[in-house]
Amino acid sequence: MRSAVVVFPASNCDQDVARALHRVTGVAPEMVWHGESTLPDVDLVVLPGGFSYGDYLRCGAMAAKTAIMNDVVRRADAGVHILGICNGFQILLESGLLPGAMLPNAAIKFVCRDVHLVLERTNTAFTNHYDHGQVIRVPVAHHEGNYFAGDDTLKALQDNNQIVFRYTDENAEATPQSNPNGSLLNIAGLINSTGNVLGMMPHPERSVDPLHGGVDGLPLFESLVESLS
């Protein structure tokens, strides 16, 4: 599996996801600066977490207008798999590759802790190494992770089975207490209707090594290797 990680000014998880990809593929991904206009020939493009452009205007809004995102959108439309994590998810929303928007967390505070997620969908290239209904524990770190969309969009996401991850407690119950940011329907991750673009607020790349406290994020990267190699 050939992969690329797009680096924006103030990306801060690009090296984390690069190490995760190197771990599962044995090959370092291409690191692509946001000012480039063309991506290399790859099977997977990752938009990493961080605070692109200092989160000015809106999180991800300026990054969505960079030169490289024109090619990211073209590749996505052509079927290349795109993974957006945290700020990368925000960029996917701002670029229109996924529906909806991000609002400030309901408590208006930065949240940085482990959360539990339930796997709502495992028949994707991103999640086929998980079991449906499995609960995993991974970190979140964001101030604007409160997913919002209109009623019609939320209905379409549910009808089309596009909700991949939800915030839950350790027993897979999606409660207000298990929701770290106020996201509607406890949404933590979405996939597009064609199944090749996934956005998620939690950080699977920070949960691939036992020394970091857990490996529940590792199957996501293993899923991609199996699906795209």
The two three-digit tokens of residue 180, written as one number: 């770290």
Handedness of CA 169, 107, 161, 216 (dihedral sign): negative
DSSP letter (8 states) at residue 65: G
Q: Could you give the CA distance from residue 108 to residue 225 in angstroms, rounded to a whole number?
A: 37
Whether 36 is catalytic = no
Is 203 a residue of the active site? yes
Among the listed residues 94, 120, 144, 205, the single catalytic one is: 205
Catalytic residue among 86, 94, 120, 144: 86
CB 25 within 8 A of CB 3: yes
φ, ψ for residue 152 (rounded to 5)?
Answer: -65, -40
- Single out the catalytic residue among 81, 142, 143, 203: 203
Query: Is residue 180 within 8 Å of residue 143, measured between CB atoms?
Result: no
- The whole-angstrom separation of Cα 121 and Cα 134 is 10
As a residue count, the chain comes to 229
Based on the residue annotation, tell me whether 59 is a catalytic residue of this protein.
Answer: no
Task: Compute how many other C-beta atoms are within 10 angstroms of the C-beta atom of residue 22.
Answer: 14
Residues with a known catalytic role: 86, 203, 205
